[in-house]
Structure formats: C-alpha cells, structure tokens
Amino acid sequence: MDKKFPISLHFALTLAGLLVALYMIFLYAPEEMTMGEVQRIFYVHVSCAWPALLGFIIIFFSSIVYLWKRAQFADELAHATAEVGFIFCTCVLVTGPLWAKPAWGVWWAWDARLTLTFLLWLLYVAYLMLRSYMVNPGRAANLCAVVGIIGFVDVLIDYMAIRWWRTQHPQPVILGGPESGLDPRMLATLLVTVAVFTLLFFLLVRMRLRLAAMRRELSEIRHVLAFKMSED
Amino acid sequence: MASLQIIWSIFVKDLRVEWRNRETLASMCVFGLLIVFLFNFSFETAREETLRLLPAVLWVAIAFAGVLGFNRSFASERENSCIEGMTLAPVDPSMIFVGKMLANLLFLGIAEVVMVFAATLWFNFSFLPSLGELTLIAFFGTLGYAALGTIFGAIAANTRMREVMLTILQFPIAFWILMLSIDATSNAMRGDPGGNWAGGAARVAGISVVFTVASFLLFEYVLEE
C-alpha cells in the first residue's frame, strides 16, 4: 500500500481536493432557496457523517479479525479508526445544531438521525476511554475488541429501534430529501465533498497507524537497549 | 462437569458470598429506594402525571441500582484474586458468564421488587391490574441489562476508575433496552389502550436476547490473559 500509494501523494491529493471542495461549496453550488447561505454547511455535515459511521464499521471488522487471527495490525487499525472517527462524529454534532437552529428553529430535536449520531458519539467515547483507563495495557486489545463488536451490534439495533420509538412524532422535513429535485450543481458539490472527506479520513487513519508502528518500534528498541545495558 | 452444574455452582457461590456479607443486595435496594423517594418527593404527582412519570422513574432507578451491583460482581472477584482461580478452572468461560449473569439477574430482580413496592406506597399506584404484563417486561428488560452489565463489569474491573467506566460502557449500549422497556411499561400500566404492550415487550425481549447471546459468545475473550 505504501509503495503503490505513498502517504505523501495521499496528502497532496487530499489537500488539493479540500481546496476544490471549498471552492465548490462556497462559489460553485447555488444558494438554497428557503434557507439561504446557511444551507452550505450541509455539505460539510453530511461529509463528516459518512466517515463517522464508516469508522465504526471498520472497528467492528478489525475487532473480529483481531480476536480471530490475533493480528496486532487489526488492533492498531481499530484504535486509529476510533480516534479519527471520533473527530468526525464530533464535527457532525457541532455542525448539526449550527444548521438546525436557523433551519428548524431549535438547536436540537431527538429525531432519529440525531439520536443515532449522539449514541454513536457516546460509543466512540466509551471505546477510547476504555483504551486509556486500562490498568494493564496488554489486555486492552482483547477488551476493546469485545466492546467494538458489542458496540456495533448496538449501532445496528439503534437503526431498528429508532423506528419503533415514539413513531407518532413527525419527522423534521429536510427539504423533501435529495430525490425531490436537488440541483445538479448541489449534487456534484455534495459528491465531491463526500469523496474528499473520505480521503481525508483515510489519510488521518494512515498517519495514526504510522505513529502506532513507530511507537511499537521504539518500545522494541528500548527493550533491546535495556537488555544490552543489563548485560554490560 | 456438565455445563448446568458449572453454572449452578457459580450461581450458588455468588449467592453464598452475598448471604455472608449482604453488601451488594443491600446497597442496590437502598440506592433504588432513594431514587424512587427523591423523584416522588420532588414531583408530588397526580394520577395522570404518575402514569407518565412512574415508568421512567422506575427504570432509571433500576438502571442505577443495577450498575451498582454489576460493579461489585467482578470487583470483588478481582480484589481477592478469585478471578485467577476461576480462569484456571478447566471449565468453559461462557458458563462462568451465565452463572454470574443469573446471580446479577436475581439480585436486580429482588431490588426491583423492593422499588416497585415503595413506588406503590409513595405514588399511591396499584400495579396489580397489569402485574403479569409488567413482570414479563421487567424480566426481559432486566435480562438484557444484566447480561450487558455482567460482561462490562468484567471489562471495567480491568480499568482504573472502574465505577465510571462501567457506567460509560453500560448506558449508551443498554439505552434501547431501557427506552423500550419504559415504553412497554407505560403502555401496560395504562391498561394498554392501544393494545401494543405485547409488541413492546417482544421488542425488549428481542434486543435483550441479542445482547445476551453476544455477551455469552464474547465473554471468553474478556477472561483471557
């Protein structure tokens, strides 16, 4: 992976993509009719939401691989993804209310998607806190994998349960949804932003993985050094 | 040793320990009582409000009292290094999980009876007309909650600040068990005008069974050194 698609190229692509996305969001995409300029936050909001969910899916699969194959890489991947996914999930929770206040008139409503995102955010928090509160870090991989799997089961249950819960409440109308005549320029902007943010997500995960590898190497060197010193 | 025998001996061991020191059950019951008391005293409800508030009050009290008990369940094993003995025993770790979960289920069940009794007195509300429905909902809700509490109690016992850690793991994941139980309890308490308490109970049961099976399957990795 590092040979075929070096991290420097990945970085350059993401940077260029972000500039293009900025241009499209603020200059290319037309202004929304009823909500005006504030609607432009929509592109960032949706683009953060997708990697936030993708992050937990990756945690789930790498947790299974870790428990099954005991591959340290799978554990490091889960940890890296959790940290990056948490950032993206936080961005969704910050941009959401900023958009909701002018659009719906309230900062927050316990609507299906908001509840889901908030629970996902809590899962990320729980997962990362568990990692950092370990008494014996050697056991962190096993326990976090278990929480990663049960957490994902919970995400799936959220998807169903949210439909059963107080169904009499009206769903907030989000401009009739994307099918009802989203301007082609808006759609193009959305697709580009989502793609760029996905690139950014993977770039951050890769950088985080490289850091984990360096840490592992450093601790190995320390062990060797300590062994040599004790021999002398 | 047959699986049932293993489960039974773990279950009886937990009960015996509890009988000797009476720490867990006493703290769960008193804590649950206090929550019901605080809510009752601060709201002073009339009947219609009681119907709205009581299910939530009871399940919140159950949630907090439960966390208290689940913490003790594995913390005590760790303090006395009993966990090493259990891990060394040539038995399937999943059986240990079932034994401990049943003990937790029983303790929380007893605490629930105490809380419901107190709520009957203080809220002046009779649970008798829908006792069967409520018992069923409470059983399934408590089952899933205790299953998650048992596995997360075992996980949190490995961390610093384990009391906080258990709560942080337990509440987001047990969220729907609690919410759907509140919904179903509320329907059953109203004499079920919409006729949908059974649907609600079935959902609670479904989620609880999913979490119980998942915890059962994953528990061996929690004990693994």
State the Cα–Cα distance between residues B153 and B187, nearest whole angstrom: 31
Q: Which DSSP letter does residue A71 get? A: -
Helix (H, G, I), strand (E, B) or coil at A36: strand
pLDDT grade, residue B107 (50/70/90)? very high
Helix (H, G, I), strand (E, B) or coil at A134: strand
State the Cα–Cα distance between residues A172 and A160, nearest whole angstrom: 18
* pLDDT tens by residue, B58-92: 999 999 999 999 998 888 888 778 888 888 888 88
Shortest Cα distance from A192 to chain B (angstroms)?
Answer: 33
Taking each helix axis from N to C terminus, what angle separates B131-156 and B93-122, rounded to the nearest 10 degrees?
Answer: 130
β-bridge partners, A32? A36
Q: Which DSSP letter does residue B190 get? A: T
State the Cα–Cα distance between residues B143 and B122, nearest whole angstrom: 27
User: What sections of A24-139 are H helices per DSSP?
Assistant: 41-69, 72-104, 112-132
Assess contact for B49 and B149: CB atoms under 8 A. Answer: no
Residues of A in contact with B207 (CB under 8 A): 157, 161
Higher confidence at residue A84 or residue B40?
Answer: A84
How many CB atoms sit inside 10 A of residue A142's CB?
Answer: 23
β-bridge partners, A36? A32
User: What sections of chain B are H helices per DSSP?
Assistant: 3-21, 23-43, 47-79, 82-88, 93-122, 131-156, 162-189, 197-223
State the Cα–Cα distance between residues A119 and A165, nearest whole angstrom: 15
Tell me if chain B has a CB within 8 Å of the CB of A129.
yes
- Nearest residue to A174 (alpha-carbon basis) of A122, A117, A114: A114
State the Cα–Cα distance between residues A171 and A26, nearest whole angstrom: 29
Which pLDDT score is estimated for A25?
Answer: 86
* Out of A133, A142, A158, closest to residue B159 by CB: A133
Q: Is the ipTM of this complex over 0.85?
A: yes
* pLDDT tens by residue, B21-43: 888 899 999 999 999 999 988 88
pLDDT grade, residue A181 (50/70/90)? low
Q: Which of A152, A153, A163, A165 is best to mutate for the B interface (most B CBs within 10 A)? A: A153
CA–CA distances in Å: residue A196 to residues A27, A51, A146, A203: 17, 11, 32, 10
* pLDDT tens by residue, B43-62: 877 777 888 889 999 999 99
> Hey, are the CB atoms on B221 and A67 less than 8 Å from each other?
yes
Domain range list for chain A: 8-26+40-175+183-231
